[in-house]
Amino acid sequence: MKDLATTTPDDQDAWYHDPLGRWVEQTEQALLLDVLALREGQAVVDINAGTGRLARTLAASTGANLIAVEPCRSVRDIGEARTRGLPVRWLSGGPESLPLDDATADVVLLITVLEFVPDRYRVFEEARRVLRPGGKLVIGALNVLSPWAALYHHLGQQGIGPWASAHLWTPDQLAQLLGVSDAEVRGCVYLAPAAQPPFRGADAAGMRAGNRPAFLVASCTK
């Protein structure tokens, strides 16, 4: 859950300094890596790349060429420093109007982006525009049916971050947007927000209890 609940660059990574935050990030990135199955040299666009945590992981572990698009200069500066020496190129731009030509990317990522934009369908179509024929669009979304949704709702009521206007997703909605079957929507993070270590055990217990996954991932081919 990338750079979600903070508003200033100094706080962008605060969530990941917490043991639970680190575990959630590692779990989500493991699922994304499995879904992406990136190959060395592929051109990958990470929209609203934040401070570059995901871009760094993908570039370092797969050898793909990342194009990280981020509208906020101060946040982008952190990302550029974090990914220095890796095949990551940073661009200034928002998700509604990407600074890229048509059909330039093998893979486009929208990871916890569609929850927080005014026109999510325009952003979705813009992501598809920069994909090459046969390219893969991957969306990571927050599940409105998970135990975490109550926390996000509470944060929204308190006026914290972008949560007041956030649009969370059901697996059905995500599948419909991408034109895939429900079975192609995968999820992870079954533990509750108040979970204590060991987190793997708490996650397994959440799954046994019937919790819905907090993080959903699905993809489609153009």
pLDDT of residue 1: 53
Tell me the pLDDT tens digit for each residue of 6-35: 445 555 688 888 999 999 999 999 999 999
pLDDT of residue 2: 47
The answer to the question of residue 4 being in a domain is no
The answer to the question of residue 2 being in a domain is no
C-alpha–C-alpha distance, residues 86 and 198, integer Å: 33
Q: In terms of Cα–Cα distance, which of 96, 107, 102, 64 is closest to 83?
A: 64
The answer to the question of residue 108 being in a domain is yes
pLDDT of residue 12: 62
Specify the number of domains making up the chain. 1
CA dihedral 196, 200, 201, 207 (to 10 degrees): 100
The answer to the question of residue 3 being in a domain is no
The answer to the question of residue 1 being in a domain is no
Q: What is the pTM of this model?
A: 0.94
C-alpha–C-alpha distance, residues 164 and 39, integer Å: 38
CATH number at residue 75: 3.40.50.150
pLDDT of residue 15: 83
Structural domain boundaries, residue 49 = 9-221
pLDDT of residue 4: 47
Where helices occur in the chain by DSSP H, the ranges are 19-36, 53-62, 73-82, 120-129, 148-157, 171-178, 199-208
The answer to the question of residue 109 being in a domain is yes
Which residue ranges in the chain fall short of pLDDT 70? 1-12
Paired tokens of 86: 């890796």
